[in-house]
Amino acid sequence: MDDIYLDKNENPFNVPEKVRKEFINYVKTANFNRYPEKWLPSLTKKLAGLTGFDIDNIIVTNGSDELLDMLIKHAAGDMVISSPTFEMYSFYARNYGYNVIDVPLRSDFSLDVDGILKQKDAKLVVICSPNNPSGNLMDRESIKKVLDSGVTTILDNAYYEFSGEDYTDLLAKYKNLIILRTLSKAFSLAGMRIGYGIADSGFISELKKLQAPFYMNILSARMAEIMIDNYDLIGEKIRYIINERERVYSEIKDIAYPSSANFLLIKKDIYDYMEEKGIHIRKLPLVKDRSRLTIGTKEENDRAIEAIHEYIEKIF
C-alpha cells in the first residue's frame, strides 16, 4: 500500500480539471518577459469581490506566512501568542529578535483574555481561530476584549472556510485588527503560495510600504484568479472535507478533540505508530502526548480510522 500524507493540513484534492485547463491556456501565451502588474490589481480586485471589501482593504502576499513575517516586522516589539498554536509566529519573532510572550490557552483551549491584557508592553497579539493544532474557534467576545485594548491584533483565519465562522464584521469597528487568510487550504493552492490580509485601509497602506512592487510571480497570481472565478467547484470540496472531518471525529472521538478546521488534534502521540503503517501525521514537538491528523480523502481517512481503531483496542 502507498504511503499517505495527512501531516500538513493540505487539501487532499488537486485543482479541478477545468481550472488546470484554464491555467495551461494562460501559460501558452503568458508574457514571461514582462514584470507582473505592480501590487497585483486584478487579483486584489477578485479577493475584494470574494470577501465583500474594497481593494484598499486587501493585501496579497506569498503565502500567509509572508504576511505574518511582514506584520511581526512591522509591529517591532513584544508579541503575545497563546500556545499550543502555529509555530511560525515564534519563528519570525525570534528571527527579528523580538520577545515572544506565551499566554497559554486554558485547558479547554479557550483564550486567557485577562492574561493577554496584562501584557501591557506587547506590540502585537496573535489569535489563531480555528487554532492550529487544537482545531477550535476562539470566542468572539474574548477576541473583542483583546481588540478593545487597542493592541494590534492578527486574527489568523487560515482555516476559515472549514469553520463557518466569519469575523470580518469586526473590521468595521476595529482598525487594530487584521484578518489573515490563505489559498493554501480550502483553495488547494499550497504549492502556489498565496495568502492575503483584510484590514482597515490605513493599516493596509502602511503594510504595503514594506512590500516590493513585483513580489509575486505571474503564475501564482493568475492561478489564484482562476480558482476564485471557480469558487463553486471549491465549495463542493469544502463540504466534502467538513463531512469527512465529522465522520472521522465520530469514529475516533475517544482519542480526538472536535474541530472546526481540516484536521483533528489527537489526545495521544500516535506519530510513530502511524508512521509504521505508512500514514504520515504531524508529530507536534512542542505539545506533549498529542499529534495532529489532517483530513484527507474518504479512502485515506478510512485507513487512518482503521489504524486508530487498532491502536485504541491495544491501549484501552
Minimum distance, C-beta of residue 154 to ligand PMP, in the bound complex (Å): 10
256 DSSP 8-state letter: B
> What does the alpha-carbon distance between residue 201 and residue 312 come to, in Å, rounded to a whole number?
51
Counting contacts by CB under 6 A, is residue 163 touching ligand PMP? no
Closer CB to ligand PMP, 67 or 307, in the complex: 67
Based on the shown chain and the rule CB under 6 A, indicate whether residue 188 belongs to the binding site for ligand PMP.
no
- Which amino acid, 75? A
Min CB(218)–ligand PMP separation in Å: 19
Q: Quick check: 69 binds ligand PMP (CB under 6 A)?
A: no
Cell of 7: 501531516
Order of strands, edge to edge, in the sheet holding 177-182?
A: 58-61, 195-199, 177-182, 152-156, 124-128, 79-81, 100-102
Contact (CB, 8 A) for 69 and 90: no
Q: Of the ranges 18-26, 57-65, 214-222, 274-282, which one interacts with ligand PMP (CB under 6 A)?
A: 57-65
| Number of neighbouring beta carbons within 10 Å of residue 44 | 21
Closest approach of ligand PMP to the CB of residue 194, in Å: 7
* CB-nearest residue to ligand PMP: 63
Among 57, 182, 259, 260, binds ligand PMP (CB under 6 A): 182
Q: Is 287 in the site for ligand PMP (CB under 6 A)?
A: no
Q: Which of residues 253-282 bind ligand PMP (CB under 6 A)?
A: none
CA distance to 116, 150, 181, 197, per residue, from 173 (Å): 20, 11, 19, 17
Q: Distance between CA atoms of 157 and 41, rounded to whole angstroms?
A: 23
Q: Report in angstroms how near the CB of residue 295 gets to ligand PMP at its nearest.
A: 14
Preceding omega of 16 cis (within 30 degrees of 0): no
Please, what is the minimum distance in Å from the beta carbon of residue 132 to ligand PMP?
4
Single out the residue of 36, 43, 70, 86 in contact with ligand PMP (rule: CB under 6 A): 86
Asked if 64 touches ligand PMP (CB under 6 A), the answer is: yes
CB of 160 to ligand PMP, least distance (A): 10
Note whether 138 binds ligand PMP by CB under 6 A: no
Q: Which is nearer to ligand PMP, 57 or 64 (CB)?
A: 64
Given candidates 100, 190, 238, 287, which one binds ligand PMP under the rule CB under 6 A?
A: 190
> Using CA atoms in the order 269, 94, 69, 136, what is the torsion angle rounded to 10 degrees?
30
The grid coordinates listed for 203 are 493599516
Is 128 a binder of ligand PMP (CB under 6 A)? yes
Query: Considering only CA atoms, which of 6, 138, 29 is closest in space to residue 82?
Result: 138
Would you say 277 or 296 has its CB closer to ligand PMP? 296
Pick out residues in 142-161 that bind ligand PMP (CB under 6 A).
156, 158
- Strand, helix or coil for residue 315: helix
**Per CB under 6 A, does 9 bind ligand PMP?**
yes
**CA distances, 87 to each of 49, 91, 100, 160, 171 (Å):** 31, 7, 11, 19, 26
- Whole-number Å distance between alpha carbons of 102 and 85: 10
Q: Out of 11, 134, 163, 184, which residue is the one contacting ligand PMP (CB under 6 A)?
A: 184
Nearest CB to ligand PMP, comparing residues 139 and 306: 139
Residues contributing to the site for ligand PMP (CB under 6 A): 9, 63-65, 86, 128, 132, 156, 158, 182, 184, 190, 195
